[in-house]
Structure 1
């Protein structure tokens, strides 16, 4: 007995008249006037199956089918009438007239509706307990498929450029990294431990010394650290690579097409700037406040150290560095809002304080305005190109 000749996402109108076998999960079931309609699902798609009492070998089996039963169905592909075509499915122009059905596995009532909502609104502990059910959801399935496509593209790209894919050891010795190690006790050496790698740094350097020249892997990195917005706590994967006899700019030119391809060919999104803009580290830190700047960020930090040092305001006059941030249309913020929200956020970011002033109807007002004379305020307005209804924030530090 064959389990399938086609997948549930494969059949089209050109297959009309073919005898086929499909296997999958009962996605939906409907009883209509003595007929039973089942949407059969597998990883590849959904196909509608029709059970006629006079055509199925054992119609009672069809009557017993329930949500998420796993079945094998044999039948004939027929074209749907125009009025019953489902344009929302790739297989929507056909259906299967079933002749036999075998139940491979029954299913208990589901702990949550798998497909009525695909947003993960249920309790997280419940979803994790039944993770194998949640992974049936289309969104999560597509996430896994998308990751697979990304990894395939990376392998093809790197292999075509003479990189060697080398898997480095998982059980290793501890080395200085950015977080604490996960430790694994050794049975052979009682009282001693292996460390799970936070990154394959030492091994890839050994590979370069050994003459491997170009190495890469999609490496697991295990770090005992607090959760971060851009990666899972404890474990994440990264494209890890190392090369010999190559300058920084040559490496940029080698790797940039990979990220363009991943974005445009795999993710089907558009890269606006090619080649990628290159910003000196110093400029990134001073203008954007970080070494991974979001260039869409329209609130750059502006150096006003010289202006501040020339003033009589002691906080600025003695400061090695003064930065300003201007926010258009920020004049509606009240003093209370600024103190409770903005100043509190600045202190959480380890700033010593946050000074401010507003520019409304051609006049500076509020905050630290009183510490500056008219000439100094005019210089500030010209330096920052301040327009109407703007609030300006200042931070002074080393």
Structure 2
């Protein structure tokens, strides 16, 4: 007889590994898993832990988080409240390698609302998220996380932009003409998964619902610098010191312009970046000031506040030059303001949408610099900085070092 409160190993072996199981086994085991999840759920809702099977050891129990562990798996239960009443429970199972494998979401009364699972390849890299029907457990939707790269060709173009971000959706046909290619493959790299497929995915907040950022930034670059090619790099979130390798890869491919729409308040994260960027001072890094509502002269955000001659920090405004809501400023640390509120972009699905903020001020300025380099290929960094300063105007109270560039699509002073 199957013990009442134990997640069956046969279920997780069948459900979570990459090989296929027969449909009847999946149905049977999923039904049993649902009953077990409801048992945990009902005990938590009733605040009664006597019935939880002794094979699961309680590692942590707070109002908002319970963690249980057995010999092979870990169960994490997040409890969400509204007005001090349980609103939702999220059950996440991790395998013995501490990789998330399945998430079940329920209502306050333990009604199952959503099931998602992550499938891993033989190298333990997540390659697919599956959404399951809560009634019959069939796969309703598959979201690829590491798809095969398309076969692409491009003309030789030395005016290449490096995009360091969460990757891009390189399967979108509308992106293909702007992706930099070398030796028949995408020029760039995934320093997160450590492979040559920098696909757009940021699982840090929730691996079952990853965020996507790089594709929208890519779409702005492609639209505003159409003659440039873009090399996508997925940043090394798991080891930020690998930024040294990223920059060296960029330098070895003679790329001199980098779009970096990211940052954090932890200087230690950026020490290796700073050291390497200082070494390769011929490369220009355009970085976002951040969206914290800070004066980063007083509350630094990095790499925006780093004192490097080859970093340009940009913040966002509306079309009238008013600083965007939440956009950081700094008379010493922020160089330019660029209109980037309510930008039309193509998102990771290939759908037109609108977004904004300092992340999108960066590609607008990068595209402007790229168009300048295209017309002035021999211009050094000083010439590029001087061009940008001549394009900027001061408006109202000084909030940045050089001021506002009203229309970065205008080719004034480029020719």
More helix by share: 1
Q: TM-score, normalising length from structure 1? A: 0.24
- Highest Rg: 1 or 2? 1
Q: TM-score, normalising length from structure 2? A: 0.23
**Higher normalized contact order (CA 8 Å, seq sep 6+, divided by chain length):** 2
